[in-house]
Amino acid sequence: MKIGTCEAKKGCLTKGWLEVGELAMGSPIRMPVMILQGEKDGPVLWINSTVHGVEVNGILICRELAEEIDPKELAGTIVFTPINNPSGFEERHKFSGIDRLDMDQQYPGNPNGWFSEQVAYIHFNEVKKYANYLISLHALGLNYDVLPYTIYKKLGGVKPEINQAAADMAINFGYKAICEVDLSTAKAELPGNIGGNLDCNCLKAGIPAIMAETGAASILQPDMIALTKKGIYNVMAWLKMIDRPIEKMYDEQFIVTKRKFPSSHRGGLLQGLCKAGDILQPGDSFARIFNVFEDVEVIKADSVWMPLGIGNDPVVDSGNVIGAVALEWHPVEQ
């Protein structure tokens, strides 16, 4: 296995770069790559992070896992791409700094397209070549109070066993909340090309893949990093890549089958009025927006809500997404 300048060696961790573009001055744009190849045979698990440039918890998750896992005890190979969007990361921006596209809506990419499409094409060609399973590490918005959750997609035209393997990965990861996104019914959850997500295109290519929301963006959170590492170890245990039991993180897990992302109608300062994981009844307050003179808007639940994430970034304009809420959910056992 060779990805850019990073070539796998049995029983070793190797590091290198995948060149994905070039700046006007001629400097290369490179994506860091690490390959940890175990001494035993097994599947290839690809761990991807920072497809959005501000989602940084995953970078340290990749680094710590690469250093902690003993290749003598590892069955299979782990590929890490800790900074999937080097341009966005450099500018500390969710989107690419070159074309302002959301790279996680550009897969499978286009070799002759815009910058983000070209990067997605180069990256995804390597994923398709080697990966048997993939975990895409994300984070919610700036300064969010977050209930960590995994996401698995259900796609038509994908073999049932691939969709099921993704669901099993998301559940065994161990976060309290697991979001099931059926793209035949959830197309309007978020604007943009959801079908261009990395995990969706992995499923289409026969690679079970999930997303994990690992806390808030633009900040390193040691507790979230530690929790997410436990989840990845759980997936590795489920895949029999390591010999250890799956660790139960919560007494109860639930599957979210419907969610939405409330937004503001007024500009000002934002203050969350509840906590992630609370149960809000219709009419309960979710957040308020105020300015130097007065409160200008209170966002209230219009049905039973369970906040998955609540924005606390104090400065908002009208139309900013201010949170994520579950609308329908049930225990994993059902």
What is the reported pLDDT for 142? 78
pLDDT band, very low/low/confident/very high, at 63 (cuts 50, 70, 90): very high
Token duo for residue 158: 């994908």
144 strand-pairing partners: 311
pLDDT tens per residue, range 278-307: 999 999 999 999 999 999 999 999 999 999
pLDDT digits (tens, 9 = 90+) for 227-250: 999 999 999 999 999 999 999 999
Q: What is the pLDDT of residue 225?
A: 97
The set of residues, in sequence order, having a beta carbon less than 8 Å from that of 223 and lying 6+ positions away, is: none
The predicted pLDDT at position 143 comes to 81
Judge contact between 146 and 309, C-beta under 8 A. yes
Give one DSSP letter per residue of 154-197, joined into a string. Answer: E-TTS-HHHHHHHHHHHHHH--SEEEEEETTT-TTSSSS-GGGS
Enumerate the β-bridge partners of residue 31.
18
pLDDT digits 0-9 by tens, 87-130: 999 999 999 999 999 999 999 999 999 999 999 999 999 999 99
Domain 2-238, CATH among 3.40.50.300, 3.30.2400.10, 3.40.630.10, 1.10.1740.10: 3.40.630.10
* Exposure of 323 in the CB half-sphere (CA atoms within 13 A): 32
> Average pLDDT of 51-76?
97
Residue whose structure tokens are 């782990």: 78
Q: Which two tokens stand for residue 239?
A: 């895949």
**Does the structural domain 262-326 have CATH classification 2.40.50.140?**
no
User: Is pLDDT above 70 for 14?
Assistant: yes
Residue 127: per-residue pLDDT = 98
| Domain ranges (residues) in the chain | 2-238, 262-326
Q: What is the mean pLDDT of the segment spanning 144-149?
A: 92
Check whether 141 has a pLDDT greater than 90: no
Mean pLDDT over each residue of the chain, to the nearest integer: 95
Q: Between helices 222-238 and 160-173, what is the axis angle to 10°?
A: 130
Per-residue confidence (pLDDT) for residue 188, from 0 to 100:
57
pLDDT for position 244: 94
DSSP bridge pairs for 93 = none
**All residues at 6 or more sequence positions from 252 whose CB lies less than 8 Å from its CB, including other chains:** 176, 331, 332
Q: Fill in the DSSP letter of residue 248.
A: P
**Rounded mean pLDDT, 198-204:** 97
pLDDT at 78: 98
Per residue in 261-279, pLDDT tens? 999 999 999 999 999 999 9
pLDDT at residue 197 greater than cutoff 90:
yes
Sign of CA dihedral 232, 70, 12, 75: negative
